[in-house]
Amino acid sequence: MELNAKIPQGPLKDKWSFYKDHARLVNPANRKKMDVIVVGTGLAGSAAAASLAEMGYNVKSFCFQDSARRAHSVAAQGGVNAAKNYKNDGDSVYRMFYDTIKGGDFRSREANVYRLAECSAQLIDQAVAQGVPFGREYGGYLNNRSFGGVQVSRTFYARGQTGQQLLLGAYQALMRQAAAKTVTLYTRHEMLDLVIADGKARGIIVRNLDTGEIERHSAHTVILATGGFGKIYYLSTLAMGCNASAIWRAHKKGAFMACPSWTQVHPTSLPQSGDYQSKLTLMSESLRNDGRIWVPLQTAEKRKPNDIPEDERDYYLERRYPAFGNLAPRDISSRAAKERIDAGFGVGPQLNAVYLDFSKAIKEQGKEKIKEKYGNLFDMYRKITATDAYTEPMMISPAAHFSMGGLWVDYELMTTIPGLFALGEANFADHGANRLGANSLLQACVDGYFIAPYTISNYLAGEINSKRLPTDGQEFVDAEVQVRAHLGKLLAINGTKTADHYHKILGKLLYDYCGLSRSKKGLMYAIHEIKQLREDFYQHLKVPGTDDEMNGELEKAGRISDYLEVAELMCQDALTREESCGAHFREEYQTPEGEALRNDEQFCFVSAWKWQGADKEELLVREPLHFENVELTVRSYK
């Protein structure tokens, strides 16, 4: 089987223009006859829904939260990248493209990444026009900060709430369309299945989370912008509700999953403090601009951090990566932290953290300046830990964060199911094996505002003669029967263990065997354990209540039933990739210095997985990656 990424012809810098010039259009009179379903109201979903509605399509927008403003895009703190070169420091579209491709360890498509960089400048324009209050210099012009993995300042920010402010811009654009009745909003609705008719995505089955009612919705195209599934690790930086269910159920209907094991583990999260803990709070990577990371030179260090003299501290990022220092990319920083912690140099009550120290920056710039840059992060740190980071170093630790993997999409962001698109973190596209900081907000926005309007129209132009699919057709009936059967199955077990019980065990397995470092032995063990856990789940799970009412536990159980399948595929994916690249570090494949060892001869491809049915191994389909504009080099930040 061959995967066609549909990369447009021509030189790299002209591909997107060529596509836009030749994409098919839908006449405005026809647009209002066409229905578009968008699942998810984060940046990608809201941006796509609002933009398509502005064009005149009928949009139905779904989210599981109680308002479209609450999706987890809000939590991105540090910023959004754009190649504006406002700092006159040598930035350009090509340089941003190169940084992103290199940051992803040469495991993404050149054409996609170039388009991301190309559209970045336009996004800043759009956000400013919407009223996003980005940080500005005293002269009134937009300010930038630098971020991990690059040597220019191209990150735009709105204090420590860039995601929240960008999402409010997109949410407001969406609400404007809701007021104009071009968008119908369905909050507190969770997608439980995809409906396919004549081989094309034509609708979804959703559950109203307030009433338990199952609903059928039909459309001419379905867009999934349902975010990442890092919450599969249980302890993660994600929101409690983040899940893989929408993309996984689409996967089981024929959409390939690409590189599902590539999960970014963020270096600057707060460490775990106990078993009761439900999430790990992220501290923005932007802190690494001014904070220095260190551990004591001695193991079992008992002194308080401020009592440890300078020459007894190991600034291990500055030591190992002098060129990038504390701004080394996330995968490298997280792995370096794990290396120190595993070697016994960890700090904090559980010896699972490293210090992030601002004393030098405060001495040089003054407390006020640091407060202005990171005030809300320091406040947040104090609220959670009751520690003042202005006087004592923060304690941080790596945590599961971002899914580079997701539904396989072509250049048009269409999955292997015609008419089904995946946007933002839900897809695998631009970030390769490691995402650079401040590129996630960018990708979500660019997918939603600037790519989907062209590619969705191009698809819908071929659908103008297809009638609205009635929701009483067999396809809908069958899908609903399936959904109800699964809910019934979960409720009928009536065992003795809660959904969270399984989630915590699964998360621990993934952290240990499919996290920052992986090995053949560990992955095979994990696959075995996951299968057993899944069996146990269907024997001993307990879900209280019924399916025709509000039932938070039933929602959780459904998501975890999917996670138990996703986890196995993640391990399978990690097992078959016998190389180290980006966030995927196989212990068997490393340089003598402990750096990732890529194998471009054998593994320069995207792994796309095809569901073959329950209890059957998934089929691996390879999409080879071709590099015509960059040379594959060893990714060095030394």
Site for other proteins in 241-300 (CB under 8 A): 241, 273-274, 276-279, 281-282
Element (H, E) at 293: strand 292-296
Residue of 330, 559, 586, 598 marked catalytic = 330
CA 546 – CA 602 distance, rounded (Å):
51
How many residues bind other proteins, per CB under 8 A?
Answer: 78
Taking CB under 8 A as the rule, which mask of x and - marks residues 518-557 in contact with other proteins? ------------------------x-xx----x-xx----
**Burial group, residue 208, by CB count within 10 angstroms (0-12, 13-18, 19+):** middle
351 binds other proteins (CB under 8 A): no
492 binds other proteins (CB under 8 A): no
- How many beta carbons lie within 10 A of that of residue 278, not counting itself? 11
Site for other proteins in 81-110 (CB under 8 A): 84, 86
- Nearer to other proteins (CB atom), residue 279 or residue 610: 279
The only residue of 239, 297, 461, 597 in contact with other proteins, by rule CB under 8 A: 239
208 binds other proteins (CB under 8 A): no
Is residue 44 within 8 Å of residue 423, measured between CB atoms?
yes
Buried/exposed code over 321-345 (b: 16+ C-beta within 10 A; e: otherwise): beebbbbbbbbbbbbbbbebbeeeb
Distance, CA of 445 to chain centre = 13
- Nearer to other proteins (CB atom), residue 145 or residue 584: 145
Q: Minimum distance between the CB of residue 219 and other proteins, rounded to whole angstroms?
A: 20
- 147 Cβ neighbours under 8 A, 6+ residues apart: 78, 79, 81, 154, 155, 285, 286, 289, 327, 436, 437, 438
| β-pairing verdict for 58-62 and 406-408 | unpaired
- Nearer to other proteins (CB atom), residue 332 or residue 441: 441
Taking CB under 8 A as the rule, which mask of x and - marks residues 156-175 in contact with other proteins? --xx-x--xx--x--xxx-x
Read off the amino acid at residue 568: E
225 binds other proteins (CB under 8 A): no
Q: Minimum distance between the CB of residue 596 and other proteins, rounded to whole angstroms?
A: 30
> Per CB under 8 A, which region of 178-186, 289-297, 320-328, 430-438 contacts other proteins?
178-186
Is residue 150 within 8 Å of residue 436, measured between CB atoms?
yes
- 71 Cβ neighbours under 8 A, 6+ residues apart: 40, 41, 42, 43, 45, 46, 63, 65, 167, 227
Active site residue 330: yes
207 binds other proteins (CB under 8 A): no
Q: Minimum distance between the CB of residue 525 and other proteins, rounded to whole angstroms?
A: 28
The only residue of 133, 199, 344, 624 in contact with other proteins, by rule CB under 8 A: 133
The only residue of 14, 89, 137, 364 in contact with other proteins, by rule CB under 8 A: 137
592 binds other proteins (CB under 8 A): no
The only residue of 341, 380, 442, 625 in contact with other proteins, by rule CB under 8 A: 380
> Per CB under 8 A, which region of 69-77, 101-109, 220-228, 363-371 contacts other proteins?
69-77
Buried/exposed code over 231-247 (b: 16+ C-beta within 10 A; e: otherwise): bbbbbbbbbebbbbbbb
Site for other proteins in 419-458 (CB under 8 A): 449-450, 453
- Helix, strand, coil abundance in the chain, percent, nearest 5: 40, 15, 40
Task: Supply the residues annotated as catalytic.
Answer: 330
